[in-house]
Amino acid sequence: MSHQLRVIPDPFEFARRGDTLQGEVDARSLPRLAESLRDLGVPQRVAYELSGSVIEGKPFLTVLASVELTLECQRCLGDLSWVVSADSRLLLVPRTEELPDDELEEDDFDPVHAWRDFDVLGAVEEELLLALPLAPTHEQCSVPVAKENGGERSPFAVLKGLKTGG
């Protein structure tokens, strides 16, 4: 495995400098995310980028992540490719301070406690988990569906397909 920065030693400094870091990780190695995955023996590469910024004097981290995951279709239980992407802004709050109240969370960011050695992969995994669909299914499962009249299908034909298709 290539050497990549897995922690940000000082996330507040990272934000102040407007630094950016990019990396790649196999989704199967992220323990909480892996629970939702089908492991077909090939990597499910997550590309991620973290960038720091200061907005109105406050330190932020933007987390971008994108991956094509292999999930389980909740209808036919077959393998299902699913592109998940995350784009989140985190407000860095020192551990010594309280997180802002919920009532302030109409803004488009999430406050998180941060300190030294900010866990890059933990943040990427968290954002991908939030972006996961609750009950992913194929648009059309490979169960045969009756096609009649060369295209136009009446609701009754669909119903019939459902009854015989199971």
Residues that bind Zn ion (CB under 5 A): 73, 75-76, 78, 138, 141
Q: Which uninterrupted H or E stretch holds 70?
A: strand 58-72
Q: Is the separation of the CB atoms in 66 and 45 below 8 Å?
A: no
CA atoms within 13 A on the CB side of 13: 7
With respect to Zn ion, which residue has the nearer C-beta, 23 or 161? Answer: 161
The set of residues, in sequence order, having a beta carbon less than 8 Å from that of 82 and lying 6+ positions away, is: 68, 69, 70, 71, 133, 136
- Smallest gap from Cβ 24 to Zn ion, in A, equals 29
CB of 5 to Zn ion, least distance (A): 38
Q: Judged by CB, which is closer to Zn ion: 76, or 99?
A: 76
Q: Whole-angstrom Cα distance, residue 63 to residue 45?
A: 16
Phi-psi map region of 34: left, alpha, beta (phi>0 left; psi -120 to 50 alpha): alpha
Starting at the edge strand found earlier in the chain, the sheet holding 20-26 runs 20-26, 45-55, 58-72, 79-94, 110-114
Q: In terms of CB distance, is 36 or 88 closer to Zn ion?
A: 36
73 vs 112, beta carbon nearer Zn ion: 73
Q: Minimum CB separation from Zn ion for residue 70, in Å?
A: 13
Q: CB 140 → Zn ion: shortest distance, Å?
A: 8
Which C-beta is closer to Zn ion: that of 55 or that of 143?
143
Residue 76 CB, nearest distance to Zn ion (Å)? 3
